[in-house]
Amino acid sequence: MDSYVKLLLSNKAWVEEKLKVRKDFFEVGARQQTPEFLWIGCSDSRVPAEDITGSEPGELFVHRNLANQVHPEDLNVLSVIQYAVAVLKVSHVIVCGHYNCAGVQRAMEYPDADEGVVDRWLGQVRTIGRQHADEIAALGDATARFDRLVELSVRAQVARVASTAVVRQAWETERRPKLHGLVYDLRTGHLKELETLEP
């Protein structure tokens, strides 16, 4: 069977399962969305936000990009943050990276690469690696160094979210949202908490 056809058949089966549990599942969901969380994660196909958190449709407002970056000039991520914080009034913003991230690996293994859009996108990760070069180099093995750069990158992205005007304003006027840095471990399936920033 063609993989695309299988995808469509799987959708039909998913719809049937949801309707067995709750006949009005889609009707209620179509009225409005009121997620409590904004999730900024990696585009990696092995890190589906709803699946790894056990969330239902409507519980997470999700933005994904290569290596879960928050670029100050990226209108896509900035518009998502603004909409989630100012319009949806989310209580939490999560930046979630993951171990074995191909984007972070590329930035680490090719610190001077400049072969196109991907390498420009990963420039922030390379900068973080240079800023923490001594700390990373002191770690015992390649996996530990790689994991640490993933964590440092997540922390830097949380700081970038905290620096956005919409989050600063919400902190001042509404005392929300809390910001969280998480890492997903592909090897175990577990989420690891790195930090939480509050207003």
Active-site annotation, residues: 42, 44, 46, 98, 101
Burial of 107 (0-12, 13-18, 19+ CB in 10 A): buried
The Cα–Cα gap between 150 and 69 comes to 11
Four-point Cα dihedral 106, 108, 112, 113, nearest 10: 0
User: How far is residue 166's CA from residue 169's CA, in Å, rounded to a whole number?
Assistant: 5
| Secondary structure (3-state) at 186 | coil
